Structures are given as C-alpha cells and as structure tokens.
Amino acid sequence: MATRLYSHPVFLEHLTPAGHPERPDRLRALFSVLEGYDYYALDQVEAPFSDEGALGLVHPASYLKKIKAQIPDPLDEEQLASGMAQPIVNVGQDTYVSPQSWHAVLAATGSALAAVEDVFNGQADNVFIAARPPGHHATADTAMGFCITNTVAVAARYAQSHFGAERVAIIDWDVHHGNGTQDIFDADKDVLFCSTHQSQLYPGTGLVKETGVGNIVNAPLLADSGSREFREAFSTRILPALDNFRPDLILISAGFDGHYLDPLAQLNLIEADYDWATGQVMERADRFCNNRLISFLEGGYDLQGLSFSAAAHITRLMKG
C-alpha cells in the first residue's frame, strides 16, 4: 500500500474572478512540485464523481437545489471563439460558481467517499485529497469563504453511516477558523473538532470558549505567531484532546495559509511546521485507528508557500 492522492482535471475548471486568491493556479503549483522524482511512489488516482445523494449527509436538499440553480450555463463554441469568458456567479461571501463548479463539487465529494472506503478497507495507508473549491467554511445551508459544500464533513458523516465509525476526529490547521465544520458538528459528541488558526481573522469565530458539547477545541493564535506558538498550541490543546478522544478515524482540514508568505494572514509558519504537525497526527492515527487518516486541501494562497508546504505534508504522509 501507499499514500493515495485524489484529484481531477475538473478542479481546474472551477473558476473565480480575476485576482481572486482561490484560483486554479493553486493546484497547478502543487502538481508542479509533485512531478519530482521523490513522488514516484505516490498513488495518484483520478477522483470519482459522487451522486448528489451523498451531499445530503450534511446539506439539506433545499440548499443544494438553490446552489445548482445558480450554476451558469457554459458558453458555446462560437461564444468562446469570440473571446467571451465563461460566466461566473456570486453565491455567497467571496464565493463563486462557474459552469463546471457543480462537477467539481461532485468530484471532491467522490474523492471523500472513496478515501473513507480506502482507509477502512485497507486500500491505502492514508489519503490526501487535492481538490477545489475548499470546504471548511461552508455550513449546512450557507456558501461562504470560497466554500460551497463541506467535503470534510461529508466524509465524517459517511464514515459514521457506512462504516460504523463511533468517534471521528477532525483537525483543522487552516489559518482561518473552520466555522462551517464546527457549526455542523457543534452538538455531535461523536465528532471531535480541533482547530488552530489566527485569532480575529475571517470569519471571526473560533474562540476558546466555543466548546460545543465538549467536542470542540479551539486554539487561536495571535497575529505574527510562528513555529513556537503553533507547536505549543498543538501540543498543549489539540494533541491532548485527540489522545483523550481515541478516534476511529482522523480527518485533517489541511490549509497552508499559515505560511509566512501567505497574503491573507499574518502567521509565520514554515514547511517544517506542517511536516511536524502531520507527523504528530500520524502517530495518533497509528495508535488509535489503524492509520486511518485522510487529509483535505483547504486554503493556501501564496503559490510557493502552498506548494512546498503541501509537498512537505504529503512527503510525511508517504513515510507511513
């Protein structure tokens, strides 16, 4: 077995307005790094498309219908030849859809379902999902923060409903708090949500006092925090919570926008921090849940910071 990576060309066809930080070049930059020899053993698989029913594990039908209705029709060949650009529609706070966005959502969801099946059936040591749009800001019924549907939440619900997972842990180290994931699981004692993120940054949630039913652990970091503060928050709040919870499955919302080069935040993390955090979570996956670990790409908007940090994360996953 090996580390499996799911992606799909349709993720490049989810379009955002010119100058928007969540852009197709994010994946292009990552894959340019993964073309190196060090990644020959990475099991790269094209993402399957899920049916829409899987999204119903988290999102109500009324919300999905509303989003689908806003997906614009693609231009025809004559319009494209004339130089017209594919239409882009705003569906929420800084969040957009284009003609292929719904297919991107279904491929991201299909990746999540396949990854859960992989780790429970022993088909992969662990899995990284290189998809866009990201998902952790999407609540059950609201698109926001570049996110349309919450892929990591769908994976957790799928593990519960189809594989009998009794305790699912979600670790979110995106620099922006995963408000959507927290909101979805706020009252579910069987899902642990732990987040370290920059305090007072978008979307303004993630305070220490937000504890759900004892299943929410937030470790906010002040602006200009770096490696020491990040590792301390991880070691003193997140890892002890994970140890006490003893999960059957660990999911990571892996944003790399805490990197010092990222334009949307003010943390000062480096690639080695993501390598370290990945190793710490992998130790718990080995100890508690037979290495069942799935990581989902979330944020990261400086192309160098994103690609090299994600590569460090994937390299650590491949070490098993």
Q: At 80, is the pLDDT very low, low, confident or very high (cuts 50, 70, 90)?
A: confident
- Residue 226 tokens, joined: 């770096």
- Residue 35 tokens, joined: 């073309």
Mind listing the pLDDT tens digit for each residue in 108-122?
A: 999 999 999 999 999
* Percent of all residues in the chain with a pLDDT value above 90, rounded to a whole number: 94
Q: Residue 152: enclosing H or E segment and its boundaries?
A: helix 151-163
The pLDDT of 58-71, averaged and rounded, is: 98
User: What structural domains and CATH numbers belong to the chain?
Assistant: 3-318 (3.40.800.20)
- Residue 263 tokens, joined: 């334009």
Determine which one of 137, 176, 197, 259 is catalytic: 137
pLDDT at 16 over 90: yes
The pLDDT of 248-277, averaged and rounded, is: 98
Q: Residue 160: enclosing H or E segment and its boundaries?
A: helix 151-163
Site of tokens 């580390």: 3
Number of C-beta neighbours around residue 93 at 10 A: 14
Euclidean distance between CA atoms 134 and 144, whole angstroms: 10
Is the overall model pTM greater than 0.95, yes or no?
yes
Is residue 20 part of the annotated active site? The answer reads: no
Q: Sort 213 into a burial class: Cβ within 10 Å, 0-12 / 13-18 / 19+.
A: exposed
Mind listing the pLDDT tens digit for each residue in 276-320?
A: 999 999 999 999 999 999 999 999 999 999 999 999 999 999 997
Taking the alpha carbons of 168, 174, 177, 183 in that order, is the dihedral positive or negative? negative
Q: Which of 141, 170, 155, 132 is nearest to 298 (CA)?
A: 132
Chain centroid to CA 268:
20
What sections of 164-216 are H helices per DSSP? 179-185
Q: Which of 187, 173, 172 is nearest to 140 (CA)?
A: 187
Mind listing the pLDDT tens digit for each residue in 126-158?
A: 999 999 999 999 999 999 999 999 999 999 999
> 310 in helix, strand or coil?
helix
Q: Specify the pLDDT at position 39.
A: 87
